[in-house]
A and B are shown apart, each in its own frame.
Chain A
Amino acid sequence: MNITVSQKNDVMIVAVQGRLDTIGSSELEDWSNKNFDPPKCDVIMDFSRLDYISSAGLRTILNLSKLMKKNSWKFSICSAQAHVKEVLEISGFDTFIPLYRSVDDYLA
């Protein structure tokens, strides 16, 4: 699990690379506890290099999404691979997390 952060137009872009399985999700959870206490801007998760997601990953994403909402920041996901996007849709996460095709799409 690799997490790379960059900033563009007041948005924090968090690129997650690897697998959001039970192990990867707890790594992301630890990372966000350190870095989003509290969150200070809008966040978009770049999932272009995320190969795998399970319900453990969904739990982490749901918690993150709730934390952002509580602090009145926008939380979005972009560039998810088709099978990852499908899991987000089956679980109904696309009803409360906007999914974008790319970071540029989000910024446009």
Chain B
Amino acid sequence: MKTVEEFQIQNFSKGLDELRVNLGRIASSWSLSKKQLFEINLIVEEIYANYTEHVENNTIHPVEIKLCREKDKLVITITDQGPEFDPTKIPDPDVHLPIDQRKAGGLGLYLVKHYADTISYTRTDNTNILHIEKKLT
């Protein structure tokens, strides 16, 4: 059986709260573990944070988030109408550098890649569409 949950993040300043509340509600209706909820929240926050960094002049359109679950497979689809941005093209940071050479940039998408099984990006009709697959084990 396939279960689908959808919501939008509309308000820039309260976006993270909207995200946390919606994911909390979905996690409890799907009986997800605390760790699964944490990983899903992290994935979506990092993608959302990247989106808000790349939009111009705070012209933020709603970001649509869809979670589709079929047995132990979860597909997260994140859609926005911001400027073209393909997070799969961002190179990984070197996480083995000593502290003096470390920079924090790029760690968000690195964590997304770690917690997701596959990530694919499409740009259609001025819209960024990101599909993220994750096994719920």
Interface set of A (CB-CB < 8 Å, partner B): 19, 21-23, 52, 54-56, 58-59, 62-63, 65-66, 69, 82-83, 87, 90-92, 95-96
Contact = CB atoms under 8 A, between A and B. Distances in A.
B45 A62 contact: no
Interface string B24-55: 00000000001100110110011001000000
Interface residues of B, number: 24
Secondary structure type dominating chain A contacts:
helix
Secondary structure type dominating chain B contacts:
helix
Nearest to A19: B20
Contacts of A22: 16, 45, 49
A62 B104 contact: yes
Interface of B: 16, 20, 34-35, 38-39, 41-42, 45-46, 49, 95-100, 102, 104, 107-108, 110-111, 114
Contacts, number: 63
Given A21-B16, A23-B16, A56 B99 contact: no
Contacts of B108: 54-56
A101 to B, nearest CB: 19
